[in-house]
Amino acid sequence: MIGQLLDRRYRLIKLLGSNTFRQTYLAADTHRPGYPQCVVKQLRPPNNHPRTFNIIQLLFKKKAEILEKLGKHDQIPQLLAFFEENKDFYIVEEFIAGQSLADELVVGVPLSEDQVFRLLQEILVILVFVHHQGVIHRDIHPENIIRRQLDGRLVLINFEAIQESTSQPSNSQSGQLASSLGDSPYKPIEQLQGNPVYNSDIYALGIISIQALTGLPAEDLTKLQNSDPSHVGELLWRHRTQVSQELADILDKMIVSDWRYRYQTAIEVLTDLNHIGNTSGNSQPLQMLVTLEQNDSKRRHRLWETGFRQKLLLIVAALAALMAIAGLGLGFHRQAQQKASNLKISELENASDTDHLGAIQSYNQAIQLNPNNAEVYYKRGNSNYDLGNLEEAKADYTQAIRLDSKHAKAYQNRGLVYSDLTDYRAAIDDYNQAILLKPNDAAAYEKRGQAYFNLNDYKAAIEDYTQVIRLNNQDAVAYINRGLARSAAGDKQGALADYTQAIRIDPDSGDAFYSRGRVRFYLADYQGAMEDYTDAIRVNPKFADAYINRCSALLNLGQYQKAAADCTQALKFTPNDAIAYGNRCIAYFNLRDYQKAIEDCTQAIGLDSNNSKAYSNRGLARAAANDKSGAIDDFTKAIRTDPSDAVAYSNRAEVHSDLGNYSSAIEDYTQAIRLKQDHNGAYYGRGLIRARMGDKQGAIEDFQKSAKLCIDQGNTGCYNDAQYQIKKLQS
């Protein structure tokens, strides 16, 4: 196989690993400049039976879909391609250059508690992202964690045994699956029995952390099991290292043998880590990326059968679901205007006199003496522009062009006037003329790029900013502007690279840090976003938007006290900022200070009466404070503000259900379904109410519909829940 060209594109370089049905190769992508390396994984069906092939084909496509979804995360390899060739299946992934965590875990050389603390935080938030996609990794061990050479961040690789999640182990025991996975110290008992759950991954990370703290090989950890029959599976490891009781308690809870008593979610572990971090000094900004992405469709079905307290992490995963789809996570994230940097005329060529009114009088006199002097009209245009007299400036530049048709600066500056007047097509025409006259004028390309950007022609904008960079590869602003255009065009990774280059050129560019933070936030890299906003604040301590966005990132990291503090700081600079109040409302809700949450959401509503999410969040806070009627009133206002908000209908339905108003609840669930026909949670919630009302057949139909939607969406967890309700009704 070495040297073979697959899919007429991927040249195999060397074998990285193999087993019975899979080979993994390092390859070169011959269709990309420089032939960058990638990883090619070959899956060979166990036999040639058509039925087996069809099943493998379906599983292969499903796996590729999952990898595509996971690869949006900066610390998970991107899926580059998948294809079939000669009845074998191939997946092509991003190659991560670096060393594995296994290389860092040297036997007899334990890591410090601070190092393990950071390791835990980084991997846990990656797991939050993975689990929110409805996926269990199932093969977490040091070889599958790579420290990326490029930036020193940890990357989770080899999602070979990925499984879409369920909330609890099934009753069936898959001995064949357990056998294929093999006996591993990183796998808990339920996984060895073929029934992995979310916190099976948490168990693996706990074992890795203990291995790192003790300096013991993983296989030796099993020798530390407690021999007391009442503590089966418990590891006695604390005496083998120096560790704080707080961290040791967290690790012990991560590796409880019975999954029911283990941490249930990665966010729970993070919350406890943040608590000890706040008291031990470990809470300084990490140097590693950690991320979280809300996935409403995977989790919303739980909303209707749990209390409002559990909805905390779902609040804006559910209520801000529409925003999350657009790339927002927990909290309302300040969207900076997608606007390229605007160079002032005075930065190009202006009258030397800073007294523009006096300068204009001088230019008027000069024009009276010589009405054919193009340069004087041009300079008077500059002064008029700086005074905000756009029409006068346009007239002056036009006259300068009439007198000198090769006056490139006049074309360029008239183009800027047209841009300010939002006549971007006319502006582009003028920039075209300026570039024809001076093909190497970077400023003209930059201005034209901005005009294209404002017309949403991001491809043309990118081309212009690229030309600016060719003319001056140390222009940090050009990299920022190209990053903005790439981000708007959907190329978040390209934008990330541009912002990073801008920071290399100018380490004190607050705009570059802020812009990179926004992209990282979009990519659910909340830890990376938090670090960038921190740098933006370092550069500009009064950067209100950076405080607001860092508040959003901290919400997603479960650091609610810090989030509230950041939003409070932002409000000192911008006292009437609805987003800051809205985010602080969410922080207070998570801190169970429902009264303050209600007050802040009320402030947000007062500043923006069309803020449907603020009404919804206040409704949740009121419901949590046992003000059910107030909650219904707020959900109703949210619906009036945004009649298409299916989640608001669903939440109002739950409150109606809590009050025993089953008819109203069914009406709301039905409307939620009308608005969002694939709303499996609404079908599930309506099914629960119909079951309570004795409408057995209607309930079964709803649960069946919910089950079908869940399986169509690849969510086996809610599928199993719906099937359980059906079996209960049919028994």
> What are the catalytic residues?
139
Give helix 113-132 / helix 245-254 axis angle, nearest 10°.
40
Separation of CA 163 from chain center: 21
**Residue 142 DSSP code:** G
For residues 34 and 13, the answer to whether their CB atoms sit within 8 Å is no
Helices and strands, number each (H, E), in the chain: 35, 11
For residues 465 and 489, is the Cβ–Cβ distance under 8 A?
A: no
Are the beta carbons of 473 and 479 closer than 8 angstroms? no
Determine contact, residues 463/479, Cβ cutoff 8 Å.
no
Q: What is the largest CA-CA distance in the chain?
A: 106
Rounded distance, CA 618 to CA 225, Å?
A: 49
* Amino acid occupying residue 311: K
Q: Is the distance from CB of 103 to CB of 110 less than 8 angstroms? A: no
The C-alpha atoms of residue 583 and residue 600 are separated, in whole angstroms, by 9
Q: Is 630 left (phi over 0), alpha (psi -120 to 50) or beta?
A: alpha
Cα–Cα distance between 654 and 565 in angstroms, integer?
32
CB 366 within 8 A of CB 373: yes
Q: Can you tell me the distance from the alpha carbon of 291 to that of 531, in angstroms, rounded to the nearest whole number? A: 12
Structure tokens at 460: 């043309």
Among 446, 452, 436, which Cα is nearest to 472's?
446
